[in-house]
Amino acid sequence: MKLHRSLCLVALMFLVIITSSITSVEARKHHHHKHKENKKKNNSDNKNNGDNCTVPGSSPAPPPTIPGNASYPTGSNTFDVLSFGAKDNNLQYCCNSTKQAFLTAWKAACKISGATVEIPSGFKFLIKPITLQGPCMPNLVLQINGALLAPPKVGSWPKSSLFQWINFKWIHNFTIQGSGVVDGQGSQWWTPSNQIYLIQKYLKHVPNWKPTALRFYSSFNVIVRDIKIINSPQCHLKFDSSGGIQVDNITISSPETSPNTDGIHLQNTRDVEIQHSNIGCGDDCVSIQTGCSNVHIHHINCGPGHGISLGGLGKDKSVACVSNIVVEKVSLFNTLAGVRIKTWQGGMGSVKNVSFSNIQVSDVKVPIIIDQYYCDKDICKNQTMAVALSGVKYDQIVGTYTSRPVHLACSNGIPCTDVDLTDIQLKPSFNRGLDEALCWNSYGKSQGPLYPSSIDSCVRRDGGSVKRIARSREHVCF
């Protein structure tokens, strides 16, 4: 009996040893076969879409997981675009896959409250025109710590994507922030007109319009802070049909000679605060267009550029409505204008309740401007209709100018009313410029100190008849 048990035990041990050996051999064979398959797959992936842009010496990024897949291993609410196949552009211009990686990361983050799409520092990503849209879960963040680059060649832009580069649509409770750079690489778009003609002739792909770098459409409760936006083909940051906007501590920069490169452009947008930012560009540092109200701009450094502007409003006999604008504690240097309102002849509507206060100017061509004869051509047709201007306050405008201190040119048919000038002290830079203010059909009051003295007679008293004319034009805005 004992002998039988011993024989059974020996047989069992022998069987275990044989099974283990077979399993080990099969595992090695399986591992070797899988390694060869993965190697073939990686080589194939590197050839897809002309996308040969893996950084030498680095391993390829893992393939993205389709949003909605329950097995997606997030680990946190942060979605790094590298993990979705975005390719670093430090060594060469590429890639076709990067746009898709951004879209996939965005869609995945969009489904989770409080998620972050991360552009990591130390990387550059060339990205083609893209629309990132909602609706998304609240408190979504785009963390830009690296660099985003637009296609540098005009001819490489799809004809269907020339209005904006990165377009945000239908986004609520959203933040863009970070220490990174958004680079529009717009130099080819600024080519002088004779060179543009040659490019059009030979390349046949230079359009009359140019893309905005970052554009928000129909988006609400949006914060843009800390980032840097440079060299946009046209406007750098645009908000259209949006509301509840906060812009804080951003830097916008493009050459003084870059045409139509507005810093921040507002249109049909309400409840806006722009603060603590530095803007230098080839057009208006901040441009406020029709449909805007409750806008507060403060602690801004502007220059070079065309200053802070309302308009041009009322082009092609259109209706323009702007109200409740406050611009204060702003410094402007080496700009074409300081704070200005410009409207086209023939327009309709109203601009009312606008305050410019505590404005410091340095070598500004004309610090204070109201121009109801705005024209971007050599000659424009005279028209009697105009956008009515009322309740415009200028207080504590101090510094130096290079051409003229004040330019108030109001409509013959609908003069400007309730224009107040208080504590205006402007001196010519290095004894250059005219001391005389240019004033026409502006009504309101002035209060010292005023320098030069010609400002004192710039506005006239109104017995009430002129104000009634202006008010009769405001009804179209209600």
Q: Kindly name the residue from 88, 183, 240, 283 that is annotated as catalytic.
A: 283
Examine the residue annotation and report whether 407 is marked as an active-site residue of this protein.
no
Alpha carbons within 13 A on the beta-carbon side of 145: 12
Examine the residue annotation and report whether 236 is marked as an active-site residue of this protein.
no
Q: Kindly name the residue from 236, 265, 306, 407 that is annotated as catalytic.
A: 306
Q: How far apart, in whole angstroms, are the C-alpha atoms of residue 132 and residue 171? A: 9
Contact 407, 369 (CB under 8 A): yes
- 10 Å CB burial of residue 311 (0-12, 13-18, 19+) is buried
Positions marked active-site: 283, 306
